[in-house]
Chain A
């Protein structure tokens, strides 16, 4: 690898100030730090450092998302073949490949658009490229319905990256979860492309793969059916494994659980936030089913829709969530509870996770303020009682 490093070192002067390619300095730096761990050494303070850096953290989240993404791809094929009635004759690979081909363009476009904006912004501000979009880039296609057109996704990504992140100061400074802002933007701007009965199952063939379904074909998500008081035609096993219609990555509890284990084991996500989302959601759903307001049991609420996905990958976003340890319990609990409240009490929004997390993103600083204030009060009291 030293030859590669030598090439990089040789071309470096072109990208330094005054060099011919200085306009692409952030691209060069991005590539250099992508290929090799920076060998800059500390000048003051601690002489040794923990090997973890934000690139590693973001990569781990991406790895944790992969099971849900891969399953999502398979499920897209599965839903298409099932709708056409050809499931029994299709092979595993033809089902997966169909889903893969349906999702891949979205992934590529998401990264090209999002990273493009990040690169340009970093170059403009003369800063190093930051890795935040690595996670948002994979999250956005995963929380959209498969039939969401790419062009509107591009608009949403541009909006989210610029207005939810960069104007606040970039990675680590945003108030709202960038991926959810992209989804919320679409949800309110293009409601017909984001919800209803016609967006959850891929209808077209891709390069000859899959089945062409009639335009009139519709299929609601289980939560959509529940909100219309229709009985859900799926078994517990389907809900758990994820063979149900829904956004690309949100359907499989098992795949999300694998991601959760990776995030908790590597200590990247907070177990306090994650657990309290489930506790808050579970208790609220229990309360609603006990009072008769919701006709599905609490565990189905947890398993359906984006609840698990939101709890594991969205609520635990360290930047937009509560930062104090005590605050994480309150923050998570309220997300869980709020998501179920929106689902049950507001028929217009069969899914409440997105709105609950965005709402609590807004309140996270307030929760932290109260927690920190209690520490300050303790210190003030000490001064008075002296």
Chain B
């Protein structure tokens, strides 16, 4: 018997440029880079030097606090550069790939015969333990945590998000092995959408399946945790990206760290939005080669338009990147008297724009904020798109005020910045809610350390 959970709140934003499933080609690059910033909460400590030879699966850096948490190289090759930014911050570790790839062999294992400790140890040794995230704080988890549950959300519903079923095709066995491995550590919950039909999801074993019906952000793992098994103070829940479950499964089935993932290249500024297969660490210049409809006044996003980071061609596919999106930047658009004209091309949840006259259609939105930052004027805006038992507006105010006790009482342990992405989108006061939540989480993490 599967639980069906209906969510009434939320918002689906229909954007132009959804990736079409077709032949999925494997992209190859001469160089790859692992970016420490894509593992939130990890302070990296470099364990290689420029010129070192590494194999795929060998650690490039480790967590400073927990040196047993390693971060594996996606390819075998020579460490070419370890550039640093402000305050000696490591920007990325670049590896020039060998023609012939060599993998560090961790030995294929039958997960069913392993205990929780061996699974943890294998993940740590192979350098993919750090891909597991946790609530509270929405950071890369640490080995000293004992999760009360593990959550995997197998669907993405942010605008232009990649369809996980496309990614799953051909990787069903690895996905199930990954779920088996996680369920060895703790009870694992798999969240699927009511629209998904893939057998590997519907008939997944060793996990409790919850079916979610509703608009975005039903696919956010934080929302699913809040509905199924809310995080209380002092508790930890692990959350794992479904693509990472496949990578974990591959590790046990083949003994190799194979960081391949299927990525959607989407957005209105992409000529033919489609899926590609690439390793984590592939340069975006390779991903976007020949795909851009125009070269200037565009915004490249490492991720989806709501939660992704603004990027450049010099950036790399991050650990959590499931799509690369390109939309117009909009910095050259001057809309005359926009505050009063009917405006039919702009998307708004408010009926004060006449776009609603045209029914459901695809919008081509740019990256403009479209207004000035104000104090919170309208009430209840966040509540409409936050399907959690949380008073978002009051939580945000508590964070802005730096009131730690209030934040705890209002449920900050249950949220991650991405849960507030839609609230930030609809916010007429144009506040940077995800940034505010991140600051609040960092503040609490520091206080509780």
Contact = CB atoms under 8 A, between A and B. Distances in A.
Interface of A: 1-2, 4-5, 33-57, 59-60, 128, 130, 169-173, 265-268, 270, 318-319, 321-325, 372, 375-376, 378-380, 382-383, 386
User: Do most interface residues of chain B lie in helix, strand or loop, or is the interface mixed?
Assistant: loop
Interface in B327-353: 327, 329-340, 343, 346-353
Nearest to A380: B409
Interface stretch (B51-59, B68-76, B120-128, B419-427): B419-427
A59 B430 contact: no
A55 B334 contact: no
Interface bracket on B = 35 or more
B356 to A, nearest CB: 10
A39 B330 contact: yes
10 contacts: A38-B369, A41-B329, A50-B348, A50-B350, A51-B347, A51-B353, A54-B371, A56-B340, A172-B376, A319-B377
B368 A37 contact: yes
B377 A46 contact: no
Contacts of A321: 379
A305 to B, nearest CB: 27
B379 A47 contact: no
Contacts of B353: 51-52, 56
B370 A44 contact: no
B379 A270 contact: yes
Contact of A325 (B346, B348, B380, B429): B380
B367 A266 contact: no
Contacts of B336: 1, 4, 35-36
B352 A52 contact: yes
Nearest to B411: A379
A324 B435 CA distance: 23
Given A52-B428, A266-B350, A38 B371 contact: yes
B391 A33 contact: no
A47 B299 contact: yes
Given A33-B372, A41-B369, A266-B352, A49 B378 contact: no
Given A41-B366, A42-B310, 19 more contacts: A39-B331, A39-B332, A41-B368, A43-B310, A44-B310, A45-B434, A47-B301, A47-B325, A50-B347, A50-B425, A52-B350, A52-B428, A53-B371, A171-B377, A266-B350, A270-B379, A322-B379, A323-B379, A324-B391
Nearest to B343: A51
A382 B428 contact: no
B66 interface: no
Given A52-B348, A57-B428, A42 B232 contact: no
B332 A372 contact: no
A41 B366 CA distance: 8
Contacts of A45: 417, 421, 424, 432-435
Nearest to A323: B379
Interface in B354-412: 365-380, 383, 389-391, 393-394, 409-411
A46 B370 contact: no
Contacts of B308: 47
A375 B366 contact: no
A47 B13 CA distance: 13
B352 A56 contact: yes
B305 interface: yes
B376 A38 contact: no
Contacts of B368: 37-42, 49
B137 to A, nearest CB: 17
A174 B306 CA distance: 31
Contacts of B435: 44-45
Given A41-B367, A57-B352, A172-B375, A48 B327 contact: yes
A170 B411 CA distance: 29
A184 to B, nearest CB: 22
B233 interface: yes
A48 B306 contact: yes
B273 interface: no
B281 interface: no
Contact of A5 (B306, B334, B434): B334
A171 B375 contact: yes
B230 interface: yes
Contacts of A52: 348-350, 352-353, 370-371, 426, 428
Contacts of B430: 49, 53
A38 B372 contact: yes
Given A171-B377, A325-B383, A51 B346 contact: yes
Nearest to A319: B377
Q: Which 10 A-B pairs have the closest CB atoms?
A: A53-B371, A172-B375, A37-B338, A51-B346, A323-B379, A37-B335, A55-B339, A266-B352, A45-B434, A41-B367
A252 B428 CA distance: 31
Given A41-B329, A56-B352, A382-B232, A49 B334 contact: no
A383 B375 contact: no
A53 B167 CA distance: 38
Nearest to B352: A266
Of the listed residues B332, B353, B372, B430, the one surrounded by the most CB atoms of chain A closer than 10 A to its CB is B372
A376 B306 CA distance: 29
A80 B301 CA distance: 64
A267 B425 contact: no
Contacts of A41: 299, 329-331, 366-369
Given A53-B339, A57-B352, A325-B383, A46 B306 contact: yes
A379 B337 CA distance: 46
Contact of B334 (A36, A44, A128, A383): A36
Contact of A57 (B369, B378, B434): B378
B398 to A, nearest CB: 10
A44 B380 contact: no
B340 to A, nearest CB: 5
Interface in B307-337: 307-310, 325, 327, 329-337
A267 B351 contact: yes
A376 B411 CA distance: 8
